[in-house]
Amino acid sequence: MAQFLDFDPNLIRKYDKAGPRYTSYPTAPQFTDSYTADTLKQCIERSNREIIPTPLSLYIHIPFCDTICYYCACNKIITKDHSASDEYLDLLEAEMSMLSPLFDVDRELEQLHLGGGTPTFLNNEELMRLMGMVEENFNLSSDCEMSIEIDPRKISNETLKFLHDIGFNRISLGVQDFDEKVQLAVNRLQSFDLVKERLDTARRLNFQSINMDLIYGLPFQTVKTFERTLDKVIELLPDRLSIFNYAHLPERFKPQRRINEDDLPSSAEKLRIFKLTMDKLQQAGYVYIGMDHFALQKDSMVKAQQEGSLQRNFQGYSTHAYTDLIGLGVSAIGSIFDSYSQNSSSLDDYRQRIQAGQLPVVRGLVMTADDRLRKQVINQLICHFRLDITALEKEWHIDFANYFQTELDELETMAEDGLLSLNEHQIVVEPKGRLLIRNICMVFDTYLKNNVVQFSKVI
């Protein structure tokens, strides 16, 4: 069922504050170094004891880029030395050989995602080697969903064919904006014709799904310039779209210091750009999935939302609920059983740990029963805009009104503002509240009041 939106600028201004994106709950700032490689091993053992084997999802982080995009907040290494990737594959292979034997062999790998950085920093031989490593260490399902992030400037049509030939069936194209002035300001020049050529090639090769990333809030963007970008995007009609709000945090991310803050659109202009984006994409036939994600009606993400199998993880919305997520590579985050784990974000430290025969886990978190309950509540709301209170009470043996008494008081205020409706049986996020779903989820986040980490604005 399509998720219709009601854009109310007054409500958006009222609720527009910083908050988590809930790619996990509890969120990453709650991870501590008391979680070690031994903790991860214990969590894998508990997961293996599940009566029905939980499928696996694998994320591999490739940190290298040969040019820098000034807006970027990812963990990356800027280098033109392509010999660095060969050594990195050695490290990944060693990490896989330590980690994969911990999982029961009957647990199938249903999903694989290569992110970064720029995964296609690896040449074809290295990509083939990496896929060989995955196939050797994991039990790939026959219909494994295999996706990779693509920089259209750094890949040829021949490499796209190669990726398809070795099993990748989904790609994500980083575009951000088609306006040349904006591109120059963020050091990412790429023409519409180039992106169109890559997308047309991917379609001829029958990739199952093509995602495109855009960012609003970049230097020199206006409603007028971004409308031209949207018109070009709609002409290309990718299967999925991710429209991210640029968070300018130069004190945390050094590349952003090259962006002149005076060139950024005002908050009012960003809001107008955001409304334009919502309107045009829905008019073009895109279904609003949630937060910053849209998909065409035929896409599997829409089907997953309709069937209740959509979830949030560290790559955003995902169609594979209830998988254990393994994170490989520098800074990668995994989610196994009732825990989260993160590898070292320093390549030097990652290398030292691997070469010492140690898993490179440096921090993480084992969820309490309260964490797991709240995670389920937040995931249902952020993925499906609805919470079945009666079913939750039965599953968790709680009285919802008593357990969440404080939260319900806050939700009543939101209900008065038209963001949601609630009764003793369910919470339903209304069209006015869907763009503010992060605010609604924040009501159930017990860690926010003690959190000093700076999050991005919700809009």
Instruction: Parse the chain into domains and list their residue ranges.
Output: 23-350+353-365, 369-450
Q: Considering the chain, what percentage of its residues have pLDDT values greater than 70?
A: 97
Position of tokens 């790429």? 190
Which residues have a Cβ under 8 Å from the Cβ of 187 and sit 6 or more positions away? 67, 68, 69, 70, 258
Fold of 23-350+353-365: pyruvate-formate lyase- activating enzyme (3.80.30)
In single-letter form, the type of residue at position 166 comes to I
Domain 369-450, architecture per CATH: Orthogonal Bundle (1.10)
Report the C-alpha gap between 137 and 71 in whole angstroms. Answer: 36
Q: Which residues of 86-116 are buried (b: 16+ CB within 10 A; e: fewer)?
A: eebbebbbbbbebbbebbeeebbbbbbbbbb
pLDDT in tens, 262-283: 999 998 899 899 899 999 999 9
CA angle 382, 388, 390 (to 5 degrees): 150
pLDDT in tens, 223-257: 999 999 999 999 999 999 999 999 898 998 899 99
Average pLDDT over residues 440-453: 83
Within 10 A of 409 (CB to CB), how many other CB atoms are there?
10
Q: Do domains 23-350+353-365 and 369-450 have the same CATH topology?
A: no
Confidence class of residue 311 from pLDDT cuts 50, 70 and 90? confident
Question: pTM of the predicted model, to two decimals?
Answer: 0.93
pLDDT at position 1: 44
